[in-house]
Amino acid sequence: MEAAAPVKETNHTRILGIVGSPRRGGNTEILVDEILAGAAEAGADIEKIILNELNILPCQACDACKDGGECVQEDDMSELLEQMERCRIWVLGTPVYWWGPSAQLKVFIDRWYGANQALFKGRTIIVTIPMGSGNEKTAQHIVGMLNDIAGYLGMNIAATVLVPSVHRIGAVRKHARVMAKANQVGKQAVDGAS
Ligand SMILES: Cc1cc2nc3c(=O)[nH]c(=O)nc-3n(C[C@H](O)[C@H](O)[C@H](O)COP(=O)(O)O)c2cc1C
């Protein structure tokens, strides 16, 4: 992970966009950006990371983290967990890949196993999922997985923005209503948090 710019200390709600697509400027990133833009308009400080550009290794199930130690992986995850800690709201974005999330998002979530579970309790998340199919049911496994994880960890899913019929890069920009909804969802999450 490159050295990050120093974080400006403010009392504003901080929101972190987590992009699970490897395609820069793709539909997932556009949706996450629009949710962040709405949040910024409501006065939040925004941050964004691209999972594909971080070095996040898969969980090895060694259970060192459960045996009183720390995760044995030496990668960008510990710095990312610190960034997550200081952001009250997280935006999780993933495209549908084979009826599931992207590998990048799944590897990242598997690593929550080794994190301090107190990090998640009471956290607000917003989910956004673009997909090529015309039927938003295509995202049902991801939605179900995230709902179950949120219930288990005590997180609150404030909104889920599903976007069918977007395949080509940037296609979501043509869906004005979806873009307006994404912006609104970002605003409302911040208004609800403050
Ligand atoms: C490896 C791969 C698998 C995909 N699998 C599905 C799928 O199962 N269902 C679907 O509706 N779209 C599928 N898609 C299409 C993407 O969900 C769609 O293009 C999405 O808008 C991509 O988001 P992005 O622009 O952020 O990368 C797949 C795309 C890729 C590259």
Cβ–Cβ < 8 Å for 59, 111: yes
- Kindly list the domain boundaries of the chain, sorted by start residue: 14-25+33-137+148-193
Q: What is the pLDDT of residues 113-139, one digit of tens each?
A: 999 999 999 999 999 999 999 999 999
Give me Rg for the CA atoms of the chain: 16
Q: How far is the CA of 4 from the centre of ligand 1 (A)?
A: 30
47 confidence band (pLDDT: 50, 70, 90): very high
How many whole angstroms separate alpha carbon 179 and alpha carbon 43? 19
Ligand 1 centroid to 81 CA: how many Å?
Answer: 27
Answer whether 155's CB lies under 8 Å from 123's CB.
yes
Q: What is the average pLDDT across 71-81?
A: 96
Question: pTM of the entire structure?
Answer: 0.95
In CATH, what number does 14-25+33-137+148-193 get? 3.40.50.360
The verdict on the CB of residue 166 being under 6 Å from ligand 1 is yes
- Say yes or no: CB of residue 137 within 6 Å of ligand 1: no
Q: Note the pLDDT tens digit of each residue in 97-115.
A: 999 999 999 999 999 999 9
Spacing, Cα 19 to ligand 1 middle (Å): 14
